[in-house]
Amino acid sequence: MRRELLQQVRRVVIKVGSRVLTVEGGGLDYDAITRLCDEMAGLRQQGIEVILVSSGAVAAGRDALRSADTTLTIPQKQAAAAVGQPLLMQAYQQACTRHGLVTAQILLTAEDLANRNRFLNARTTLEALLTAGALPVINENDSVAVAEIKFGDNDNLSALVTSLAEADLLLILTDIEGLYSANPASDPAAELIPLVRSITREIERMAGGSGSNVGTGGMATKVTAAKKSARFGVPTILAPGKQPGVISAAVSGQEIGTLFLPATDGLNRRKHWIAYTLRPAGKVLVDAGAQRALVEKGTSLLPSGITGVEGRFERGRCVRICGPDGAEIARGLADYSSSEIQLIAGHKSAEIEQLLGYRYGDDVVHRDNLVLINSI
Ligand code: GLU
């Protein structure tokens, strides 16, 4: 069953916690980083795209600064992250070079992803990096993020990145085997739970609080991250990051760690959100050919089939898509603003760059962000 579910995986977000990346007593574990990079390069060779969400900056920085303080203040942590982040990237870059793999750093705050424009910009940057064959390495932008603009922990960040990148698997690598029925450190009867069909209160209770003082996330934040990605229709695997071969074992569907199944209505929720929650900010008119392609083939909306635009809207807003008779056929999130659409309407996607001087992508509305009216 795992194998079947995971066969479809083409893009995975891998989250690695500080405990997996550091040696006992602090400092980066270069052997672990090398092994993880070898395994991620292996996935890329199989045609699976990888986005890494990595912690470890604060731990690496704290070690480099030789700080004697056992507990750091928030500014001290931010300073440690600023010192540690380049060390972390250097370690990834060095380990990836052997595979001809280039790494790219993206630092985000929660505020960035809450803003629709920045969300879309981060998405298109990620797409461009993956297309170029690079390994995006994402972390929270700790030096600017304080409480109200923070993700709080990288487990939460990894769930949001899963939705941002429209990945089809979230793999969280941590310092224990997976989710246990009780805390394995204190309860000898605790058992590993291999499969979670639905994240109930009972499951959340089992996850308890944080068990480690190196990273900020405990089991509870991992289960919350799994719950979030389940809502997007994406499975999560929680697996032991120090175990050699863990990445390929998990992605190929071997019984390792805990698999959280996606919610069955995951996709519908998003479609409902687009169709019902968002207020359309304008109209995009399309010709009969585009209407057929959208309705019968489920394609994205390209500029070539657009005959006109009504209303003024920014990129990222929800728009009505109307056929030649004026009736609404679909709703979706526009990747271009109304004034940009005016300029590219009726033209081939290949001409966008020439017409605007830049391009976000080929589609005006990507099919993942498009809901047919008759399907809801
Ligand atoms: N962003 C922090 C770091 O790189 C870690 C946050 C977390 O562990 O969740 O050290």
Annotated domain spans of the chain = 2-271, 280-375
Residues 138, 108: contact at Cβ < 8 Å? yes
The pLDDT value recorded for residue 116 is 75
Q: Mapping DSSP to helix (H, G, I), strand (E, B) and coil, where does residue 308 land?
A: strand
The pLDDT value recorded for residue 120 is 85
Domain 280-375: state its class.
mainly beta
The pLDDT value recorded for residue 58 is 93
The pLDDT value recorded for residue 212 is 47
pLDDT tens column, 56-115: 999 999 999 987 777 888 899 999 999 999 999 999 999 999 999 999 999 998 888 877
Mutate which of 62, 87, 139, 172 for ligand 1? The one with the most ligand atoms within 8 Å of its CB, which is 139
Atom of ligand 1 nearest to the CA of 221: 9
Atom 2, ligand 1: residue with shortest CA distance: 55
Ligand 1 centroid to Cα of residue 273, in Å, is: 31
pLDDT tens column, 215-229: 556 788 899 899 888
Ranges of residues in the chain with a pLDDT under 70 are 209-217, 264-270, 272-273, 276-277, 375-376
CA 18, 238, 110, 92 torsion-angle sign: positive
Task: Tell the burial category of 336 from Cβ atoms under 10 Å away from its Cβ (0-12, 13-18, 19+).
Answer: buried
What is the rounded end-to-end Cα distance, in angstroms, of the chain? Answer: 30
pTM here is 0.75
Going by C-alpha positions, the residue among 224, 222, 228 that lies closest to residue 241 is 222
The third-level CATH classification (topology) of the domain covering 2-271 is Carbamate kinase (3.40.1160)
**With b meaning 16 or more CB within 10 Å and e meaning fewer, what string describes 71-86?**
ebeeebbbbbbebbbe
Atom 5, ligand 1: residue with shortest CA distance: 55
Which residues have a Cβ under 8 Å from the Cβ of 13 and sit 6 or more positions away? Answer: 51, 52, 53, 158, 161, 162, 165, 167, 169, 170, 171
Ligand 1 centroid to Cα of residue 58, in Å, is: 6
